Each structure stands twice: as C-alpha cells, then as structure tokens.
C-alpha cells in the first residue's frame, strides 16, 4: 500500500461517472459511451445527440432559436470519468482516509460496539 492510497480500502483514486448529459434540442439523455456534439462554455453549454445533429441537413443547426454553424460544434464521446479524492485526516491513526470509507468504518464500529 502506498502513502497515496486510502489506509482503509487501499484505493489510490476513485472514479465516478459524470453527471448525465441531455440533448438541448430533443431532451433525450445521451447514453454512456455514445457520441454527441457540443458547443459553448459553462452554463450556456449545448449538447446535441447524433440523431438531432443528422436531422439538420444544412450547414447550420438551430439551437434555442439561434442558427449555429455545424463546424463550430465539437464531436465528443460521453466516456469522461471524474476523479474524486475526498479525504479526511484521521487524528486517531494520523493518516488520510477517503471520506466514504471512513464513514462506513466508523458506522461499522459504532453499530458493532452497541
């Protein structure tokens, strides 16, 4: 076990699925590992599923009443994982623990001691 791993579960990093993405045009959820198109930044980011992108036969696509050139859209795959490493310092053992491991560990010992 390395010094960078959780002392309770021995995992060095946790990865979580990204939050769900929905097509701006039709509202369908873009499935995990599916291709999609996107543009914008922050709160104004738009997502387009492949069927909606292909349905727009011209060089532009209308999103929220605005015609956007298809060349400005970026093609991506919904496979991005989010790395989380939320740790707390255990002052009893003087070591770092992943929060969810620590909570389970403390709950197990609290229930077990009753």
Task: Return per-residue pLDDT of the chain as tens, 114 residues.
Answer: 666 666 666 666 766 677 899 999 999 999 999 999 999 876 788 999 999 999 998 999 988 888 999 999 999 999 877 665 555 555 555 555 555 555 544 444 444 444
Confirm whether pTM is higher than 0.85: no
3-class DSSP assignment, residue 103: helix
The domain locations on the chain are 1-15+86-114, 18-77
- DSSP single-letter state for residue 73: P
Q: Which residues pair with 69 in a beta bridge?
A: 60
How many of the other CB atoms lie within 10 Å of CB of 2? 6
Closest by Cα among 104, 85, 102, 84 to 93: 102
3-class DSSP assignment, residue 59: coil
């Amino acid at each position: 076990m390395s010094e960078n791993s959780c002392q309770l579960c021995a995992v060095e990093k946790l990865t979580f699925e990204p939050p769900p993405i929905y097509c701006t045009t039709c509202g369908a959820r873009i499935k995990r590992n599916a291709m999609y198109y996107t543009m914008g930044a922050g709160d104004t980011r738009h997502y387009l599923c492949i069927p909606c992108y292909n349905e727009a036969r011209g060089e532009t696509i209308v999103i929220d009443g605005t015609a956007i050139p298809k060349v400005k859209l970026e093609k991506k795959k919904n496979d991005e994982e989010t790395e989380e490493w939320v740790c707390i310092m255990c002052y009893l053992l003087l070591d770092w623990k992943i929060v969810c491991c620590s909570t389970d560990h403390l709950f197990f010992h609290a229930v077990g001691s009753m």
